[in-house]
């Protein structure tokens, strides 16, 4: 059996478990807003999905995405998920032998797309208190030379949960402009941050902003995301789209409903997930050898450092799995630092965070006896 089948069967087992506590993929499991549920049902009942959607997205949704970001004069390209959006950007912008700069840790898939295109990858370490768990403009400038075409910046960072200040964003944008590089600002988690600054405000002609409806609105399985850029840059990217027949119609109508109630919805989500962060941290603080790296996180997850326990993150993940709780090992995000942490998602019902807290001491103890670990992805 090949790795594709092994990996798929792993996730099929997770997906098929209706009682699984999902706390490892940053997905939002808080019951949806009634208006979004109503829009989903209406989109099925009217059977408008028999037709293809407009190739760049329903116009009202495109306008809504741009308005939500406050980027007047920009355009949106709607896609089947933010990963597909980032794949389209990489397909359009990556060139063999040229440079692609990001942080370590970061979001893994654009790095894969860039490598497949033959780009040279530079990962700037930001894990650890010595770096402040963040990217400084000065360290970015040291890594950028005349061969760099793309700077990929996830902000708030996944998995660390740090969020750049307005001054840092301005500095990062300035580095990109001086290098003549495209800045891909992956803002998937911006709605969980107390304050978030868009790089496009400082470098409008060269910034591509990626957004997702998986995390804040909970549409992960419906797959909907977008790229936002100045029309001339988006035109160049859109020519490389692998979805010329448009994104999922049902998802787009749910997203429109979500944008209409976003302020109300996010107030509820933030209240729950911030309380869940506190629940997780209190539990972690009671277990010797564990600590929360960044608190409060400016995203919907926490990094729990476990190096002090002497345990492999994979052993802790496997121990939680036996209690029906899914958390993520650090190696998913970074080969260099993956041995130091697990990641725990917090956009979940309060009961799930309570279940994690209750199981944590036993899971750590159980992990000490684990030898043969199952493959994790």
pLDDT of residue 372: 86
Q: To 10 degrees, the CA torsion angle through 63, 68, 74, 76?
A: -60
Number of DSSP helices (H) and strands (E) in the chain, helices first: 12, 13
Shared-domain flag, residues 321 and 236:
no
Burial 246-266 (b: 16+ CB within 10 A, else e): bbbbbbbbbbbbbbeebeebb
Task: Give kind and range of the element (H or E) at residue 291.
Answer: strand 291-292
Query: Greatest CA separation found in the chain?
Result: 58
Here the CATH number for the domain that contains residue 16 is 3.90.1150.10
User: Of 228, 260, 292, which marks where a domain is finished?
Assistant: 260
- Are residue 152 and residue 278 in the same domain, yes or no? no
Pair (58, 157) in one structural domain: yes
**pLDDT value at residue 218:** 98
Q: What is the pLDDT along the chain (377 residues), one digit of tens a residue?
A: 899 999 999 999 999 999 999 999 999 999 999 999 999 999 999 999 999 999 999 999 999 999 999 999 999 999 999 999 999 999 999 999 999 999 999 999 999 999 999 999 999 999 999 999 999 999 999 999 999 999 999 999 999 999 999 999 999 999 999 999 999 999 999 999 999 999 999 999 999 999 999 999 999 999 999 999 999 999 999 999 988 999 999 999 999 999 999 999 999 999 999 999 999 999 999 999 999 999 999 999 999 999 999 999 999 999 999 999 999 999 999 999 999 999 999 999 999 999 999 999 999 999 998 888 988 99
DSSP structural state of residue 154: E
Residue 70 structural domain? 34-260
Of the candidates 308, 298, 330, the residue with the CA atom closest to the CA atom of residue 134: 298
Structure tokens that stand for 164 in this block = 């750049």
Question: Checking phi first, is residue 289 left (phi over 0); if not, alpha (psi -120 to 50) or beta?
Answer: left
Phi and psi at residue 107, in whole multiples of 5°?
Answer: -90, 125
Q: Which residue among 260, 279, 312 closes a domain?
A: 260
47 and 18 inside one domain: no
CB of 342 within 8 A of CB of 313? yes
Three-state secondary structure call for residue 103? strand
Q: Let me know if 24 is exposed, middle or buried by CB neighbors in 10 A (0-12, 13-18, 19+).
A: buried
Please tell me the predicted confidence (pLDDT) of residue 224: 98
* 363, two tokens: 């899971």
Q: What is the CATH number of the domain that holds 229?
A: 3.40.640.10
Burial group, residue 81, by CB count within 10 angstroms (0-12, 13-18, 19+):
buried
For 42, counting Cβ atoms within 10 Å of its Cβ (0-12 exposed, 13-18 middle, 19+ buried), the class is middle
Both tokens of 56, joined, read: 């760049």
pLDDT at 259: 98
Looking at residue 1, its pLDDT comes to 85
Q: Which residues pair with 78 in a beta bridge?
A: 226
- In contact, 327 and 290? CB cutoff 8 Å: no
Q: At what angle do helices 108-116 and 82-93 cross, to 10 degrees?
A: 30
Residue 267 domain-assigned (yes or no): yes
State whether residue 324 is helix, strand or coil: coil
Q: Please report whether residue 341 resides in a domain.
A: yes
Do 282 and 183 lie in a common domain? Answer: no
Domain count, the chain: 2
Q: What pLDDT is recorded for position 370?
A: 86
Residues 189 and 116 in one domain: yes
Task: Calculate Rg over the CA atoms of the chain.
Answer: 20
Task: Judge contact between 341 and 24, C-beta under 8 A.
Answer: no
Measured CA to CA, the distance from residue 253 to residue 83 in angstroms comes to 20
Strands 207-212 and 341-345, by their bridges, are unpaired
């Amino acid at each position: 059996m090949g790795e594709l089948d092994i990996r798929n069967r792993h996730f099929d087992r997770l997906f098929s478990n209706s009682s699984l506590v999902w706390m490892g993929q940053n997905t939002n499991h808080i019951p949806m807003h009634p208006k979004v549920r109503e829009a989903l049902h209406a989109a099925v009942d009217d059977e408008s999905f028999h037709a293809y959607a407009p190739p760049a997205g329903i116009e009202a949704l495109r306008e809504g995405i741009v308005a939500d970001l406050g980027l007047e004069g920009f355009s949106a390209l709607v896609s089947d998920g933010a990963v597909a959006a980032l794949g389209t950007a990489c397909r359009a912008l990556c060139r063999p032998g040229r440079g692609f700069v990001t942080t370590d840790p970061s979001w893994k898939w654009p790095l894969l797309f860039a490598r497949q295109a033959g780009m040279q990858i530079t990962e700037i370490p930001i894990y650890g208190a010595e770096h402040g768990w963040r990217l400084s403009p000065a360290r970015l400038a040291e890594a950028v030379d005349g061969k760099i075409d793309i700077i990929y910046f996830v902000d708030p960072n996944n998995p660390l949960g740090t969020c750049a200040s307005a001054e840092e964003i301005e500095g990062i944008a300035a580095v990109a402009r001086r290098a003549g590089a495209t800045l891909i600002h992956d803002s998937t988690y911006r709605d969980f941050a107390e304050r978030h600054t868009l790089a496009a405000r400082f470098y409008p002609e060269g910034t591509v902003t990626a957004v997702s409806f998986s995390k804040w609105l909970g549409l992960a399985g419906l797959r909907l995301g977008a790229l936002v850029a100045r029309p001339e840059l988006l035109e160049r990217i859109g020519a490389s789209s692998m979805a010329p027949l448009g994104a999922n119609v049902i998802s787009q109508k749910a997203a429109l409903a979500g944008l209409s109630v976003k302020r109300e919805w996010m107030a509820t989500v933030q209240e729950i997930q911030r309380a869940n962060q506190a629940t997780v941290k209190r539990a972690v603080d009671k277990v010797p050898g564990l600590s929360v790296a960044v608190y409060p996180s400016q995203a919907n997850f926490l990094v729990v450092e476990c190096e002090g326990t002497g345990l492999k993150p994979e052993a802790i993940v496997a121990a939680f799995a036996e209690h029906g709780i899914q958390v993520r090992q650090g190696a998913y995000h970074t080969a260099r630092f993956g041995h130091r942490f697990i990641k725990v998602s917090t956009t979940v019902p309060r009961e799930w965070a309570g279940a994690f807290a209750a199981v944590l001491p036993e899971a750590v103890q159980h992990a000490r006896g684990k030898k043969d670990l199952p493959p994790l992805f």
